[in-house]
Amino acid sequence: MLTRCGIGKLLLFDYDKVELANMNRLFYQPHQAGLSKVEAAERTLREINPDVEFEVYNYNITTMDNFNHFMDRIRLGGKVKGTPVDLVLSCVDNFEARMAINTACNELGQSWFESGVSENAVSGHIQFVVPGDTSCFACAPPLVVATHTDEKTLKREGVCAASLPTTMAVVAGFLVQNVLKYLLQFGQVSYYLGYNALQDFFPTMRMKPNPQCDDTHCCRQQKLFQEREAAKPKQEFTEEIEEEIVHDENEWKIELVSETTEDEARAAEGDKPQLTEGVTVAYTKPAAQAEDTSDFVNATELSIDDLMSQMKQL
């Protein structure tokens, strides 16, 4: 989606290979089986939009060496050489990889989006993390982690995690939509957006960072953020009350009169449906009223052919 929108540069990190088991998802094709996912992705994306710059790394970001390189690429891999990237998008399928991204971004103060689809494939979420400003991924550890349960116990032996291309596409769409809003500065970026496919429920909220977050860099970023906020000049909200203009004199008795009476306006608007907040009617139908028959066409004895030739003669 970003490639189709003409994003400047994409850096892809993944250690997996394309498998036939991935074909129920959206992106890869059977003939790409065996290729590394980043390479297969790059080839497809280049064909879609040759103007996008790519940098692909076929490695596991959670290992020591790779992690340092990964951090370097976030710091220096921007479109303009030596500048940081604009945004990191986490589209990974496990806790370790998410924490690796969280650690890197907290350390660098890099804004990023977390995204995911649940094991049963019928819910998902995206989360926008601005280090110091919003909750990081370590601020509220998941229950299994808080209680030190092994994540592997979640996966039952011999049972595959469910996956649906639909849920993935919906979540991916939400993710990219918010990326576009952030990068191009329009609308409101969602800090958290959930997707419950069974009920079609989409909760959103904003989460504050945890002052006792386990990640020291998160706490450091929180302090920096508060300092920055304190340094900002205070915006004072003063309600401007418009004074009603009263003229002392009105020698010529000029006054504003509406062209239509209230009754006329109401008739023209017709019945207005009760709408939920944020929804407005684009137009309304006028209330039914007796029509003046003289405004209508008269019944005619002429045939269509007669009328057609009459039209032609004009």
Partner 1 sequence: MVDEATKLSLAKIPLLKTKAGPRDGEQWISRLKEEYQALIKYVQNNKEADNDWFRLESNKEGTRWFGKCWYIHELLKYEFDVEFDIPVTYPTTSPEIALPELDGKTAKMYRGGKICLTDHFKPLWARNVPKFGIAHAMALGLGPWLAVEIPDLIQRGVVTHQEKKDSGAAS
Q: Does 230 bind partner 1 (CB under 8 A)?
A: no
Residue 3 CB contacts under 8 Å (≥ 6 apart), including other chains:
10, 45, 48, 49, 52
- From CA 202, how far away is CA 194, in angstroms rounded? 5
Q: Does 198 bind partner 1 (CB under 8 A)?
A: no
Whether 173 and 91 have beta carbons less than 8 Å apart is answered as no
Q: Does 257 bind partner 1 (CB under 8 A)?
A: no
Q: Does 21 bind partner 1 (CB under 8 A)?
A: no
- The beta-strand segments (E) located in 24-144 are 53-57, 88-90, 112-117, 123-129
Q: Does 205 bind partner 1 (CB under 8 A)?
A: no
Q: Does 282 bind partner 1 (CB under 8 A)?
A: yes
Stretch that binds partner 1, among 48-56, 75-83, 127-135, 285-293 (CB under 8 A): 285-293
Stretch that binds partner 1, among 47-55, 201-209, 212-220, 277-285 (CB under 8 A): 277-285
| Locus of tokens 């650690």 | 103
Q: Which residues are catalytic?
A: 160
Q: How far is CA 33 from the centre of its chain?
A: 31
C-beta neighbour count of 14 within 10 angstroms: 20
Q: Does 212 bind partner 1 (CB under 8 A)?
A: no
- From CA 227, how far away is CA 221, in angstroms rounded? 10
Name the minimum Å distance from CB 281 to partner 1: 10
Stretch that binds partner 1, among 72-80, 110-118, 129-137, 293-301 (CB under 8 A): 293-301
Name the minimum Å distance from CB 307 to partner 1: 4
Q: Does 287 bind partner 1 (CB under 8 A)?
A: no
Whether 14 and 37 have beta carbons less than 8 Å apart is answered as yes
Q: Which residues lie near partner 1 (CB under 8 A)?
A: 282-286, 291, 295-298, 300, 302, 304, 307-308, 310-312, 314
